[in-house]
Amino acid sequence: MWLPVADVLLVMEIVSPDSEGVDTVTKRSEYAAASIPQYWVVDQDAAQTVPMHRLDGDQYVARATMPLAWVLNTRSDEHGLG
């Protein structure tokens, strides 16, 4: 099921080792151009953190970094995401 871009509130990008540049640079700028308000990155770092970004104008700014376990265990409706 495809949604209109205007209905997308959050993109969670899971970074693949073989496409790190595309996942973290190219797609990030495409999401910003589409005015998607939030962009979170699930990277394969040893600390297992998820940097969370909020759109400010035409680019994303870092908002917070949370542990991956928190992201996986948090219900979206508790935090205004769903």
Indicate the DSSP class of residue 27: H
In the chain, domain spans: 7-79
- 3-state DSSP assignment of residue 13: strand
* Termini Cα distance of the chain: 17
Statement: residue 2 has pLDDT above 80: no
Q: What is the pLDDT of residues 41-56, one digit of tens each?
A: 998 778 888 999 999 9
pTM of the full structure: 0.77
